[in-house]
Amino acid sequence: MEPIASNPRPGHAGPIPPLSPEVAERLARVLPAGEWAVHAPLVEEIGLLKRELGAVILAHNYQTPEIFHGVADFVGDSLALARQAARSDAGLLVFCGVHFMAETAKVLNPSRTVLIPDPEAGCSLAASITAADVRALRRQYPGAPVVTYVNTAAEVKAESDVCGTSGTAVEVVESLGAERVIFLPDEYLGRWVASRTEVELVLWHGHCEVHERFTGEEIAAFRRAHPAITVLAHPECPPGVLAEADYVGSTAGMIDFVGARRPRRVVMITECSMSDNVAVEHPDVEFVRPCNLCPHMKRITLPKILESLRCGVHAVEVAPEVAARARAAVERMLAVAPRPGARP
Ligand code: 13P
Ligand code: SF4
């Protein structure tokens, strides 16, 4: 692949400054030298352009290491990125994650330009439900408030009372003071929340195509093959997986767990890039790495980020009326503090 940094960019004649030694050192810990040689010029060019444009790059924990460690200004789970997007005063936000995340950033900060390097970066959960489905459920269960996971389109959020993330779902459900709540669209997250609250939940049949592939038998096999392993699982996994886990929580919760507890050997039952990104910070922890890849997250690449900055593509737009109602639901969620994850 021809390094893009060697192509002169219109309006930019000077040399591209080299990567900071700190970034280079982190990336060398996770990327083989051959791969690094391909990424380095792109990382440098993106860094330069970002500074020139006053842009900020937000990246989800599932982004590849060259994005997560190489070009992101802020990394985190859906909740942390939504908070960061809401408070950012940068004129240009480039969102390295899937479309619903970029849309949430736009909804929370409508005066900013929010770009997503690939607008096709979707999510099986977001695709599982429409605004019309939510309206139909409201008719079926009159008076029951609606909590939607942030992994939904803005039109679906707009039909909701409040949103929730994997880090806040239990607290959000309980904050409503209702006996029965409609919880959408992730069935497994809903079942996990239901196991931790007295509130009756009406669930939908959405699943994450990445997490639903893990099985309880697989986790039991990890335990047999790797004695004294600590199992961390995302609540989008099926109940059989969560029953085998030592800790269940959001991607940020899992990262915090490793930082605080320093297990000798750990397996993160979630998307592939998590372990790669977290292992960079914890050379003393052994990571067993089962790999279920999110094809949507992986649509975001360094060349597409560079293109996004160079050409101002692809701007995320949400109709103002939809954005206002979705914002109210997300802001209600942001007002609810997360509680640390725990065994189911
Ligand atoms: P988190 O909010 O835990 O980062 O999860 C987002 C996601 O898409 C999980 O599949
Ligand atoms: Fe959606 Fe699952 Fe990918 Fe997360 S990992 S973005 S829930 S498909």
> Which CATH number belongs to the domain containing residue 253 in this structure?
3.40.50.10800
Structure tokens at 145: 């408030």
Q: How many domains does the chain have?
A: 3
For the residues of 170-223, what is the DSSP string, one character each?
Answer: HHHHHHT--SEEEEESBHHHHHHHHTT-SSEEEE--B--TTGGG--HHHHHHHH
Contact yes or no for 26/69 (Cβ under 8 A):
yes
Whole-angstrom distance, CA of residue 254 vs CA of residue 232: 6
Tell me whether residue 339 is in a domain.
Answer: no
Q: Look at residue 343 in the predicted model and tell me its pLDDT.
A: 36
Q: Does 195 share its domain with 231?
A: no
Q: Look at residue 338 in the predicted model and tell me its pLDDT.
A: 60
Of the listed ligands, the closest to the CA of 164 is 1
For the residues of 63-128, what is the DSSP string, one character each?
Answer: S-HHHHTTT-SEEE-HHHHHHHHHH---SEEEEES-HHHHHHHHHH-TTSEEE-S-TT---TTGGG
Q: Look at residue 11 in the predicted model and tell me its pLDDT.
A: 31
Separation of CA 132 and ligand 2 centre (Å): 22
Q: Does 263 share its domain with 301?
A: no
Separation of CA 122 and ligand 2 centre (Å): 8
Q: Would you say residue 290 has pLDDT above 50?
A: yes
Residue 123 CB contacts under 8 Å (≥ 6 apart), including other chains: 98, 99, 100, 151, 208, 296
Q: Look at residue 6 in the predicted model and tell me its pLDDT.
A: 28
Tell me whether residue 109 is in a domain.
Answer: yes
Q: Does 172 share its domain with 253?
A: no
Of the listed ligands, the closest to the CA of 99 is 2
Tell me whether residue 341 is in a domain.
Answer: no
Q: Does 87 share its domain with 146?
A: no
Q: Look at residue 17 in the predicted model and tell me its pLDDT.
A: 55
Which residue range is the domain that position 75 belongs to? 21-123+297-311
Separation of CA 252 and ligand 2 centre (Å): 15
Whole-angstrom distance, CA of residue 138 vs CA of residue 87: 32
Q: Does 104 share its domain with 188?
A: no
- Relative to the CA of 271, which ligand 1 atom is closest? 10
Separation of CA 76 and ligand 1 centre (Å): 9
Tell me whether residue 318 is in a domain.
Answer: no
Q: Look at residue 26 in the predicted model and tell me its pLDDT.
A: 83
CB-based pocket (< 6 A), ligand 1: 61, 77-79, 151, 165-166, 208, 234, 236, 250-251
Contact yes or no for 66/302 (Cβ under 8 A):
yes
Nearest-CA residue for ligand 2 atom 3 is: 294
Q: Please state the rounded mean pLDDT for residues 42-48.
A: 95
Tell me whether residue 16 is in a domain.
Answer: no
Nearest-CA residue for ligand 1 atom 2 is: 78
Q: Look at residue 107 in the predicted model and tell me its pLDDT.
A: 97
Q: Does 108 share its domain with 30?
A: yes
Among 190, 208, 226, the domain-final residue is 208
Q: Would you say residue 75 has pLDDT above 60?
A: yes
pLDDT digits (tens, 9 = 90+) for 165-201: 998 999 999 999 999 999 999 999 999 999 999 999 9
Q: Does 42 share its domain with 29?
A: yes
pLDDT band at residue 18 using 50, 70 and 90 as cut-offs: low
Q: What is the mean pLDDT of the chain?
A: 91
Tell me whether residue 337 is in a domain.
Answer: no
Nearest-CA residue for ligand 2 atom 2 is: 208
> Which position has the higher pLDDT, 13 or 22?
22
Among 208, 231, 260, the domain-final residue is 208
- Relative to the CA of 100, which ligand 2 atom is closest? 6
CB-based pocket (< 6 A), ligand 2: 98, 123-125, 151, 208-210, 236, 271, 294, 296-297
Ligand 1 pocket test: pick from 251, 292, 297 the residue with the most ligand atoms within 8 Å of its Cβ. 251
> Which position has the higher pLDDT, 9 or 120?
120
Q: Does 167 share its domain with 186?
A: yes
Cα pseudo-dihedral 162, 165, 170, 174, rounded to 10: -10
Among 162, 191, 208, the domain-final residue is 208
pLDDT digits (tens, 9 = 90+) for 210-220: 999 999 999 99
pLDDT band at residue 8 using 50, 70 and 90 as cut-offs: very low
Q: Look at residue 342 in the predicted model and tell me its pLDDT.
A: 38
pLDDT digits (tens, 9 = 90+) for 292-332: 999 999 999 999 999 999 999 999 999 999 999 999 999 99
Nearest-CA residue for ligand 2 atom 6 is: 123
Tell me whether residue 150 is in a domain.
Answer: yes
- What's the pTM? 0.93
Q: Does 34 share its domain with 118?
A: yes
